[in-house]
Amino acid sequence: MPLNEIATTMGEIGSGAWELRIEGGETIDAFFDEVEVSEERGFHAEGRNEERGMLYELTTGKQPGGPVRLRRRPLDSEEWEEAGAVVEAVKQG
């Protein structure tokens, strides 16, 4: 799925469990509570994986056609880490 289609697809399907593959090949399973596409924010989604103890944020910034970037942090931390660009997103269940 080309990068600009990931934001469109996730925006249309919305919240729920997603499997994400980021550049470098890492796969992340997360439940996204909030998925939003708007002219002001571009694409934005917030999610979590309780088993891994992680929070996730996806964003394109204000350019919805640009790459979807993933940031993550442990539930017990305030430090966000840039994980890279999402290259594939598959809705689970």
What would the pLDDT profile of 15-54 be if each residue is shown by its tens digit? 999 999 999 999 999 999 989 887 777 889 999 999 999 9
d(CA 57, CA 40): 17
Taking the C-alpha atoms of residue 93 and residue 91, their distance in angstroms, rounded to an integer, is: 7
Distance CA 46, CA 31 (A): 8
Q: How many CA atoms lie within 13 A of 69 on its CB side?
A: 12
**Res. 57: pLDDT tops 90:** yes
Type of residue numbered 56: Y
Number of domains within the chain: 1
Q: Which domain holds residue 82?
A: 3-91
Structure-token pair, residue 25: 């090949």
CB 54 within 8 A of CB 71: no
Does residue 3 carry a pLDDT above 80?
A: no
